[in-house]
């Protein structure tokens, strides 16, 4: 009888060791995946910040153009200020879809304002020929492309992490250990491409307002 009890006890100990090893391995894997999501989120924030940093120089360059429609610049400045009011951690990926949606909405409003600026500039050949404006425009378009790329990468690593916390055995203890599902960026059709800008150097500047 003693040998049977000892054998059962040994089996439980072995099972416990296997469970602990599996749990530790799973935990470490989730930590790595969570860190990867946070690192990619920081990169997303980095490219958005680059765009925000370019805007003051863009506004200053455009505002020097004679008779330029100042309302467009006011709209961009207001949209940039609204982005700054959305407070999200720059290093930890959000788990609240509503917070991320608010962040997306503010960034989308800024993207729309910048798109309208490029359309309005079509009526100002002198401004389009300005070397400083051309450089800033190229930097902004490159940043818009980078934003789309980094958002896509973020969704990829967030998806991998979200799948991992729902798999066995992680699903049994992930929530208790603080591993919460990460929110995704919503895909917008055509968002991976910057708004097209067709230059027409035959256009004439807008007449001065009386």
Evaluate if pTM is beyond 0.85. no
Of 195, 167, 190, give the one whose Cα is nearest residue 179: 167
Structure tokens at 119: 């359309």
The pLDDT of residue 12: 74
The pLDDT of residue 197: 40
Cβ count near 140 (within 10 Å): 19
**Distance between start and end Cα atoms, the chain:** 107
Evaluate whether 34 touches 178 at the Cβ level (below 8 Å).
no
Mean pLDDT of the region 126-143: 88
Mean pLDDT of the region 64-84: 85
Mind listing the pLDDT tens digit for each residue in 83-101?
989 989 988 999 999 999 9
Q: Give the span between the Cα atoms of 103 and 95, in whole angstroms.
A: 13
Domains observed in the chain: 2-87+94-172 (1.20.1440.20)
Q: Angle at CA 117, nearest 5°, toward 81 and 106? A: 30
Of 206, 202, 157, give the one whose Cα is nearest residue 184: 157
Average pLDDT, rounded, for the chain: 83
Percent of the chain with pLDDT over 70: 85
Percent of the chain with pLDDT over 90: 46
Evaluate whether 117 touches 32 at the Cβ level (below 8 Å).
no
Task: Look at residue 160 and tell me whether its pLDDT is greater than 70.
Answer: yes
Mind listing the pLDDT tens digit for each residue in 38-57?
999 999 999 999 999 999 99
Task: Look at residue 79 and tell me whether its pLDDT is greater than 60.
Answer: yes
Query: What 3-state class would DSSP assign to 103?
Result: helix
Cβ count near 154 (within 10 Å): 24
Q: Which of 68-77, 90-99, 106-115, 183-192 is least confident?
A: 183-192
């Amino acid at each position: 009888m003693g040998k049977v009890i000892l054998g059962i006890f040994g089996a439980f100990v072995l099972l416990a060791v296997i469970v602990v090893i599996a749990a530790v391995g799973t935990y470490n894997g989730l930590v790595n995946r969570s860190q990867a999501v946070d690192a990619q989120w920081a990169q997303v924030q980095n490219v958005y910040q680059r765009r925000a940093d370019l805007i003051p120089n863009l506004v200053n360059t455009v505002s020097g153009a004679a008779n330029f429609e100042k309302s467009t610049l006011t709209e961009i400045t207001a949209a940039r200020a609204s982005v700054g009011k959305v407070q999200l951690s720059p290093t930890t990926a959000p788990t609240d879809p509503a917070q991320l949606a608010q962040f997306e909405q503010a960034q989308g409003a800024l993207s729309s304002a910048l798109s309208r600026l490029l359309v309005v500039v079509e009526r100002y050949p002198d401004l389009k020929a300005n070397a400083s404006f051309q450089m800033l425009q190229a930097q902004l378009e490159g940043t818009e492309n980078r934003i789309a790329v980094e958002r896509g990468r973020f969704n990829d690593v967030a998806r991998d992490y979200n799948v991992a916390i729902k798999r066995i055995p992680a699903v049994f203890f992930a929530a208790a250990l603080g591993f919460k599902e990460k929110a995704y960026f919503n895909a917008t059709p055509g968002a991976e491409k910057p708004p097209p800008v067709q230059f027409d150097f035959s256009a004439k500047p807008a007449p001065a307002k009386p």
